[in-house]
Chains A and B, each alone.
Chain A
């Protein structure tokens, strides 16, 4: 090409000299005003191009000319014209107009290599950014879903707790009045049986409500274990009071034994222990048609064993694992009432308390459920610090009514308590609000006060706190539709001496009041 530069018209020669290095392959194409080839300098084939004969239209061979204004100077770099032609194109207007095509194949190839790497890196970065954004979005979504699930679970638990609370208050009335009516219609065996049926149904309803509440709280992880100094013998006595009559109704013998080596006080959650044992013993009574049901409590090296034994039908080996699952119902149990939650709750409570619940059973030979719990020795509680002024003068004397303050806003419950307490030798001082309870307690200083926890105005908890602050020395019993060891723990911390959940069995209430008086 260099030797042919001299052949170019002078103006084009100077321009081409400026544009190209001598090593470049260059093609100069002259085009007239209607797009016909006028003249060519250089080798088209060397650039990978084919051109028409002189005088023929050029556009069909060089499509780059489409839309190109040859009356204006232009510089277009790195044009891939198809085939192997990659050129820089310079348009030099004039007559003819000159197209100067400079071969750029090697430069563009090198540039492509670099650009390819750059773009691929950018794509990888963009993909990483996208994945990171997805990850962040996913985490946010997950956090939102988790929050929603927790909110939903909390609302469910609150709803169930609220419903359970709402159920307990009327059930307290139902069960209490059944007991009252039972005493009055004792001579009518037909009515007694009918009342017993109503009583069974009401108790079943109560157990369903409470089991559902506990199941919801276990699922929500909101059930907390509160260990206290617990008197095992007193707890077993209470169980006997509650369950022996049920066994007797079915003609079963019932025995509860606490071995001598069991310490008087152990550090455990007596509310949850009581719940598990009530459940195990109730089940044993429910599924045993003849023979006996027994509870044996032993203690060794910091571990408490409570074995509930029955002479019922027993449980086949292949069903023994399944029986602890929620809503599990064995074939022979379908005729018995229940939702299949009790054993599952008992097992989970045992685990929450750091122990386990085991089963030993053979079909036809009865069953034994063994509750194995850690229970270290507890300190003796020094009650005299709080209740030292209560003395022997508060012991009930024959013919003398013991005053008891009853603070309760529900008139049915008030009437029920009155129906039981007055025949048992108590004189009621009634209060319908928390404020009234404080006033009457401080005016009349009864040795006993039964306080409903949810009253208009001051709550039972606030009443207890005020009374203790004011130096009230009587025994305080919390009576509430709320259940759970954490509530009991809070009540005891506020100054209550005992805590009972509605519905309470009246004999149990009376024995508790008696015990409170004696302890004082």
Chain B
């Protein structure tokens, strides 16, 4: 079996649920306890593609920030796509995410990405409006409402990104 590897990053403001999303995807577990990431945490997950190849996603979970310094830009180097995570209950994290996206595109060009509106389990407390989501959709941004706690759409987010990276769906 042919195996290919792709580096992807997961970025967003602090405490939006990036590490929880990765942990849900890689280990299928969730912890209520908030643990800050310092620097970057690297994990891997293998996906089988429908063309028979195996994709190893090397996931760089970058410490939360509303803007990138040279260290974060260095982490992004060599990434072929990324997940942009927003906390649906904190409206300001959407602005942070969009600012990060702009910074990444300015430095590395337009990379494939999926925007995750996370904490869907708290949707009653969301402050991101339907109109804002609709506006993102109209810009062609792939937006998924996810919950690292319940697992909602987490797998799909990575699979959608994998397809963007390889042009092939995961099996």
Contact = CB atoms under 8 A, between A and B. Distances in A.
B137 interface: no
A82 B22 CA distance: 13
Contacts of A86: 39
Interface in B56-111: 56, 58, 63-64, 71, 74-75, 77-80, 90, 92
B2 interface: no
Nearest to B80: A67
A66 B90 contact: no
Interface residues of B, number: 30
Nearest to B26: A82
Given A115-B36, A119-B14, A119-B36, A80 B74 contact: no
Contacts of A80: 37, 39-42
Contact of A120 (B34, B40, B44, B56): B34
A515 interface: no
Contacts of B5: 59, 63, 66
Given A77-B39, A78-B40, A122 B14 contact: yes
Contacts of B35: 112, 116
A112 B38 contact: yes
Contacts of A82: 41-43
Interface in A56-99: 59, 63-64, 66-69, 74-82, 86
A108 B7 contact: no
B47 to A, nearest CB: 14
A224 to B, nearest CB: 46
A130 interface: yes
Nearest to A81: B42
Nearest to A62: B42
Contacts of A108: 38-39
A79 B35 CA distance: 16
Contacts of A77: 39, 71
A249 to B, nearest CB: 66
A108 B71 CA distance: 15
Nearest to A118: B36
A86 B41 CA distance: 9
B16 to A, nearest CB: 11
B6 interface: yes
A123 interface: yes
Given A66-B56, A67-B79, A67-B80, A112 B36 contact: yes
A1 B142 CA distance: 50
A66 B77 CA distance: 11
A59 B35 CA distance: 28
A290 to B, nearest CB: 67
- Counting chain A residues whose Cβ lies within 8 A of the other chain, the interface size class is 20 to 34
Nearest to B61: A80
A21 interface: no
Given A59-B5, A66-B6, A69-B78, A78 B58 contact: no
A185 interface: no
Contacts of A439: none
Given A79-B42, A122-B14, A66 B34 contact: no
Contacts of A351: none
Contacts of A63: 5, 42, 44, 56, 58
Interface string A124-135: 001000100000
A286 B80 CA distance: 92
B78 A111 contact: no
Q: Which of B15, B38, B74, B90 has the most CB of A within 10 A?
A: B38
A123 B42 contact: no
B15 A74 contact: no
A126 B125 CA distance: 14
B90 A126 contact: yes
Interface in A365-379: none
B75 A76 contact: yes
A264 to B, nearest CB: 70
A75 B74 CA distance: 8
Interface in B5-46: 5-7, 14-15, 34-44
A66 B46 CA distance: 14
A126 B89 CA distance: 11
A108 B39 CA distance: 8
Contact of A66 (B14, B15, B58, B71): B58
Interface string B134-155: 0000000000000000000000
Nearest to A75: B74
A64 B63 CA distance: 16
A63 B75 CA distance: 13
Nearest to B90: A126
A81 B59 CA distance: 11
Q: Which of A67, A68, A81, A126 has the most CB of B within 10 A?
A: A67
Q: Which of B7, B41, B42, B43 has the most CB of A within 10 A?
A: B42
A112 B35 CA distance: 9
Contacts of B6: 66-67
B127 interface: yes
B109 to A, nearest CB: 15
Nearest to B89: A130
A69 B42 CA distance: 17
A458 to B, nearest CB: 57
A116 B37 CA distance: 8
B8 to A, nearest CB: 9
A140 to B, nearest CB: 16
Given A81-B42, A82-B42, A108-B38, A123 B15 contact: yes
B42 A116 contact: no
A308 B81 CA distance: 90
Given A66-B56, A67-B58, A130 B127 contact: yes
B74 A76 contact: yes
Interface in B146-166: none
A120 to B, nearest CB: 7
Contacts of A115: 36, 38, 63
Give me the 4 closest cross-chain CB pairs, A-B, nearest first.
A78-B39, A67-B78, A67-B7, A80-B41
Given A108-B38, A116-B35, A122-B14, 7 more contacts: A63-B58, A67-B78, A79-B40, A81-B42, A82-B43, A112-B36, A116-B34
12 contacts: A63-B5, A64-B58, A66-B6, A67-B58, A74-B77, A75-B74, A80-B39, A80-B40, A108-B39, A112-B37, A119-B34, A119-B36
